[in-house]
Chain A
């Protein structure tokens, strides 16, 4: 099979050679025909003759294969050179005639166009390659562009650039809108944050102390026994009020201080009911809790101000 494919490939070349002057179209065809698209190309008699003649030149049968390979190499080399020349003609018009001259010479040497000796094929390739190497590339932002429409490419690129810029700006704007109000906190605590923490801490401390008092009182009593249950109920209330009444007398200064520091001059009681100094003490009767132990039935003290009816409004 390798022989056959070589033949096919070789057959493609002379066909192409016939239309020597139309180079632009030729390259296209070549691309189609070259990579093993052998079925389309007919093996004409002339080619067959040629190969037979070449085979005769080498007298041995063993050499025939080698010759074939060499020939195929030749054929490969030529289109390559041709290819590059084509590219070159677009880029550099000055070099073209020289190269083509070379080629013409080569063709003249041979009886059959398209087949040339190994050394000559290499030479053609070399000249073409050298002409490319010699070529000075202009210091363009685009780099080497092997196209006649160099300006068009540049224009397109510039257009793309502006488009991308506009898109980026739009995206940035959208991002800014989305980030509106988003503030990254500083990694230190400023005065305001410290104040807020102190307020929250005060709330927690007050609650914990109240819980402590309430739960401490009922220690050692069994809620299941009715006698103890009564006592618990009584004590709960007492302990809770005693706890709450304490800070209203002892630490009355501190909250006022804090408030004044923030600008709120008048000592407004905090809204959270347990934070208020007079929490659950608005009823004056309850102030003297220790004197009237037979007070009303116990209730649960909730975190809120305890008015569940307020939900309705």
Chain B
């Protein structure tokens, strides 16, 4: 019992606040590393929760994989945590009666892009559809590359989208980057006609060209090959494998490496780039762009009404009318925002 008394008397020592680690900054290039939170607003059904988890994995390593969210957490809570942690981007999933929504926001000021998820497939679905899903151990240890394609139509909101997604992953310095760290790629392809953005996530694999499959496997696997059916050891090298060496003739997908990569890819020889999808897969429609973080002036609206009415309202100097109209429009088109706060 005496122990308790002793404990009580102990003076309270204020915990020393550690300064934010220099982890916010890349130690090679000195650039600020963007970090992200992926979370949801409102209750999500099972598959969307899974999608949230997949997105977190995609955003690795600079994201909170095990971010706990509670029902009572509002956007401000996340924002308060984001500051000290150096989190620069929010990916917010929400769900309405019509469709699930994905909001990509920059903290703390915005802007916010709201995407309607037209279709999505989980990483598990993608893996299930494949004969041999690929998941090397170090796949998620490095940030992915990002490729944006078809966004150059000159429209403002597309330009903004481009910038947003370019800065969501850390930049790489071409002079110092190790090719072994380029394991994944995120592709966003804008289709001008349907106005949909295809979101894909691939893993990058390099294979030496001009080496038969048998020898490649032999070098990779470290296993004693089965030579029972061969007359001579030389047959193992000379005998052609099965006829499915079709990959080799794709000239566009070959690279010369700057350095050796793994056991099989020598710097001197050419290698073929192979992509395999790892998911998740999404088809997005850019619905709205807001100036603030999930708030503020609507810069762009897919349905056009909000922006138009605003402009008209300004011309007429009838602000009350404008407000009414805008409110009505937003209520119709974007139920996703109602869940906030």
Residues of chain A having any CB pair with chain B under 8 Å = 175, 177-187, 192-193, 196-205, 207-212, 214-216, 218, 236, 240, 254, 262-264, 268-272, 275-276, 300-305, 307-308, 310-313
Contact = CB atoms under 8 A, between A and B. Distances in A.
Contacts of A203: 145, 147, 149, 185, 187
Contacts of B174: 207, 210-211, 214-215, 240, 300-301
A218 B129 contact: no
9 contacts: A184-B125, A185-B126, A186-B129, A199-B149, A215-B174, A240-B174, A270-B149, A271-B151, A305-B162
B209 interface: no
A10 B298 CA distance: 92
Contact of B275 (A181, A204, A270, A272): A204
Interface string B236-248: 0000000000000
Contact of A275 (B147, B160, B191): B147
A180 B106 CA distance: 27
B141 to A, nearest CB: 18
Contacts of A271: 148-152, 158, 162, 190
A301 B31 CA distance: 12
B100 interface: yes
Contacts, number: 183
Given A177-B97, A303-B166, A270 B152 contact: yes
A76 to B, nearest CB: 58
Contact of B146 (A184, A202, A218, A303): A303
Interface string B102-122: 000010010100000111111
Contact of A268 (B146, B153, B169, B275): B153
Given A187-B129, A271-B149, A214 B175 contact: yes
- Say what secondary structure dominates the interface of chain A: helix
Contacts of A202: 252
B258 to A, nearest CB: 4
Contacts of A183: 119-121, 125
A201 B275 contact: yes
A196 B253 contact: no
B149 A275 contact: yes
Most buried by A among B146, B151, B174: B174
A216 B120 CA distance: 41
A272 B153 CA distance: 12
- Say what secondary structure dominates the interface of chain B: mixed
Contacts of A218: 175
A313 B160 contact: yes
A202 to B, nearest CB: 7
Contact of B273 (A185, A204, A262): A204
A270 B152 CA distance: 6
Interface string B202-243: 101000000000000000000000000000000000000000
Given A182-B119, A205-B252, A268-B150, 13 more contacts: A178-B48, A197-B277, A201-B273, A215-B259, A263-B192, A270-B149, A276-B152, A302-B172, A304-B163, A304-B167, A307-B163, A310-B163, A313-B163
A176 to B, nearest CB: 10
Contacts of A300: 29, 173-175
A308 B88 CA distance: 13
Contact of B182 (A178, A204, A305): A204
Nearest to B299: A313
Contact of B187 (A185, A199, A308): A199
Interface in B174-208: 174-175, 177, 179, 182, 185, 187, 189-193, 198, 200, 202, 204
A252 B74 CA distance: 50
Nearest to A240: B174
